[in-house]
A and B are shown apart, each in its own frame.
Chain A
Amino acid sequence: MANRLRTRQALGATLLASAVVLGFGAPALAQQNDAITVVQEQEPDTLDPCELTKKNVGMVIRENIVETVTEINQQTGKVDPRLAESWSTIDDTTWRFKLRPGVKFHDGKPLNAAAFIQAFKRMMDPNLSCSNRVLYFEGMGVDLTAVDDLTVDVKTPQPSPIMPVLMSMVGIESPATDAHTLVRNPVGTGPYRLVEWASGRSITTERNPDYWGEKPQVGKVTYVFREEPAVRAAMVANGEADISPVIAPQDATNKDTDHSYLNSETVRLRFDIGKPPLDDIRVREAINYALDRQAMLGTVFSASWQPAKNMVMPTINGYNDAVPFWPYDPDKARALIAEARAAGVPVDNEILLIVNNGSPGGTEAPTVMIEMLKDAGLNVRLQILESAEFYKFFYKPFGDGQPANILFESHDNNSGDAGFTLVGKYASWGGTSKLNDAEVDSEIKRGLAATDPERGEIFRDVFKKVHDMAVDAVLYHQTTDTRIGPRITYTPTAATNQELQISQIQFK
């Protein structure tokens, strides 16, 4: 299936790309003055501000219609002000946020402490399935109190040093927003306001004349939705759309319009570290040495991907550049396996390579990897699973009697802080972690409670430690290809995976 899909896409890409090369891309619908069209993969299900960390929702509303309290700077990885002008710690468990004065919602209501608190409480309401809460705030017990009209104290039972980072996930909507259902007509403070959502067809926004910040160039935005990547690429080439944030790698053939950027996703092989033969460090090291990461780029994985050594992007706080890459050394891999065999490790036991159907690389990538591991002397069998079955291996609780396995997974962290990654992937209580190491656990806990610069140092140590233990085989940072039409300029960043700030788009 994945195979056929790829063939189809490749075919479509070839056809449409050649159309561009041949210069047939005559614009069918001329865009007028300051309006642009954005072609997305999928229509959002809602446009609720408490769902703005969901990709489809965020691409439309985040920082366009609804603004967040803080914002991660994609260049520096630091936290910038947005609706909050400044913040500081009052004590170990209390942060104080000062809101920007003079900001108005699209409905004319003023932004103030009460509005912030109401929006936060709405997000925390368990009767609303807000993905922001589920992802970042579930069970934290956050308590907000107004100090004055523009000042809010945020108190947590435990110290929460990354509260300013977390606040980049919190959007503030008008107090008039329905408290009981997820809404399709968000009212925020952003530079754009919603004009119309023609369900299934398009979403239209226009410039907010009363915006508190700099006036953006684009006056009107139409979002349309096409699942087929070849068609999205064709629309930009044909002048029917100005930007497609995501196109297929095989369609990215025009250097003038197509850009690739790190999208904050990282792929790795997770080892079932408690089960023989994967409980032996020589076997885990051997796997890392056996994989020819360079050779797989441009063959079974996209050529624009970058080899990785940490499970987070370089711009994330806690990234350790001092961790070395695993070199490709098949001889060493064979030697390590032989050594482990001699020491009585059951290296001939079958290991499953678990892959989710439809993950990048299709069936080819895991097949190639298995060949490399077999060459090292391991007995690995490929198991491609549908999502529901895959999750049984992926998430805790891991079922009893699951065979020793290596699992190919993709992880996304664009929060600016490595904390989520370390907890999820390496802490004994992490939802998808196989590691249970007391020292790593206590280091992660210490790091989570610390603030910079100490926090970054501790996280870097953890990355070094898990590398030395060969807990996993970190493979690549993934990239996304985007196509930007000739009328506009825009520089995609890792955040383009989650949001598309129209105010950053300029006309040529």
Chain B
Amino acid sequence: MARYVLRRALQSLYAVLMLLLIVFAMTRLTGDPTNQYLPLSASPQARADFAALHGFNDPYYVQFIHYVSDLAHGDFGQSLFKQRPAMEVALEAFPITLTLAFFTMSIALVLSIVLGSLAAMRPNGLFDRMISPLTIFTASAPTFWVALVAIFVFAMMLGWVPTSGMGTPVHWILPVCVLVLTPLGVLTQVVRSSMVSSLSAPYAKTALAKGASDARVVFVHALRNSLLPLITIAGVQATGLVNGAVVIETIFGFPGIGKVMIDSIRDRDFSLTIACILLAAVVVYAMNVAIDIMYARLDPRVQIGGEARR
């Protein structure tokens, strides 16, 4: 297992280097940050000085070499706007996003398994007919709109929760609830359809022939098989969340990584953009490894690292 993780890490190092090159090229192509950073009335001299100070006049390859050699020394550069080490800014924002993603995915997974399984037990039954349109709605409703409606109803009309902010646990309720809707909708549909096929699989008949109850067939025999597609899709959803739920972070004033990344792109704060992307790449790598390991745990036929489970 450890060898597998290490090998995947080495493989992803190459991917990260390529990513770095692409991102670096792209951030440089979007234009000189001088105009963005300095006020409109700054003199041409001030502009030139600023560009020279930050090396924006050097050829791109020189800038890249400087950057990579700094990286090799653990220096991710200075955030141009915040005047602080870029990685420090990114790392400060990250735990918030991770916490948000963790709660959201936990709730979405538990609920989607329960709802999807119940819907799959009687395909086209009453519950299924009720759940399917709902999941399609929550999976496709624009988050921005849902967030504002939620603030209107739960913060302003009912006064149950504050509009925004992240001071107390109560502050987390609304953003997590809004954020959970999309993955919940998507995952419930995944659970439902894979449960339907698992329940009609031959091994489900075997279980019935053993005298197993419906609940046992659903939650013991079919569920474990249905978790495989669920994990795949949940991984995609979680990756999206970890890379920042920008809209939610912006509306509710959660200073997460998504907001930092979007702001840094808008401000052409190169070092910060790249620091965020590197961090995201590491997390995506870790999640992929975790998903692979989970896959192997759930399905004995899956091998990781070329080591068959005997």
Q: Which listed residue, A15, A182, A200, A235, touches B164 by the CB 8 Å rule?
A: A235
Q: Which listed residue, B42, B93, B161, B162, touches A138 by the CB 8 Å rule?
A: B42
- B253 proximal to A (CB < 8 A): yes
> B81 touching A224 by the CB < 8 A rule?
no
> A8 touching B144 by the CB < 8 A rule?
yes
A37 to B79 CA separation, bound complex (whole angstroms) = 28
User: Closest Cβ of chain B: how far from A205's Cβ, in Å?
Assistant: 17
Which residues of B are found within 8 Å of A199, using beta-carbon distances? 92, 255
User: Closest Cβ of chain B: how far from A1's Cβ, in Å?
Assistant: 13
> B148 touching A138 by the CB < 8 A rule?
no
> B255 touching A200 by the CB < 8 A rule?
yes
A431 to B34 CA separation, bound complex (whole angstroms) = 14
- A2 proximal to B (CB < 8 A): no
Query: A11-B148, A15-B149, A234-B156 given as contacts; is B161 within 8 A of A388 (CB)?
Result: no
Determine, out of B2-10, B46-54, B206-214, B298-306, the stretch whose residues face the partner at the interface. Answer: B46-54
Query: A15-B152, A19-B157, A138-B45 given as contacts; is B163 within 8 A of A432 (CB)?
Result: no
> A45 touching B49 by the CB < 8 A rule?
no
> A387 touching B35 by the CB < 8 A rule?
yes
Size bracket, chain A contacts:
35 or more
Chain B residue, CB-CB nearest to A396: B44
Task: Annotate B84-119 by CB proximity to A: 1 below 8 A, 0 otherwise.
Answer: 100000001100100000000000000000000000
User: Closest Cβ of chain A: how far from B199's Cβ, in Å?
Assistant: 42
- A507 proximal to B (CB < 8 A): no
Query: A16-B148, A181-B83, A238-B155 given as contacts; is B166 within 8 A of A226 (CB)?
Result: no
> B151 touching A234 by the CB < 8 A rule?
yes
- B167 proximal to A (CB < 8 A): yes
Query: A200-B92, A234-B155, A391-B35 given as contacts; is B164 within 8 A of A43 (CB)?
Result: no
Query: A46-B83, A200-B93, A431-B44 given as contacts; is B163 within 8 A of A240 (CB)?
Result: yes
> A12 touching B253 by the CB < 8 A rule?
no
> A240 touching B41 by the CB < 8 A rule?
no
A61 to B58 CA separation, bound complex (whole angstroms) = 36
Which residues of B are found within 8 Å of A135, using beta-carbon distances? 39, 41-42
> B165 touching A230 by the CB < 8 A rule?
no
Task: Annotate A39-52 by CB proximity to B: 1 below 8 A, 0 otherwise.
Answer: 00001011010000
Q: Which listed residue, B30, B83, B145, touches A45 by the CB 8 Å rule?
A: B83
> B251 touching A231 by the CB < 8 A rule?
yes
What is the interface of chain A mostly: helix, strand, loop, or mixed?
Answer: loop
Q: Which listed residue, B37, B41, B152, touches A19 by the CB 8 Å rule?
A: B152
- A228 proximal to B (CB < 8 A): yes
Query: A228-B251, A231-B251 given as contacts; is B163 within 8 A of A24 (CB)?
Result: no
Which residues of A are found within 8 Å of B40, using beta-carbon distances? 394, 411-412, 424, 431-432
> B50 touching A134 by the CB < 8 A rule?
yes
Task: Annotate A165-208 by CB proximity to B: 1 below 8 A, 0 otherwise.
Answer: 00000000000000001101000000000000001110000000
> B253 touching A224 by the CB < 8 A rule?
yes
Chain B residue, CB-CB nearest to A225: B253
Inter-chain pairs besides A138-B45, A181-B83, 7 sampled, C-beta below 8 Å: A15-B149, A134-B38, A134-B50, A201-B166, A228-B250, A235-B163, A432-B41
Instruction: State the B residues within 8 Å of A (CB).
Output: 30-32, 35-47, 49-50, 53, 79, 81-84, 92-93, 96, 144-145, 148-149, 151-152, 155-157, 159, 161-167, 250-253, 255, 259
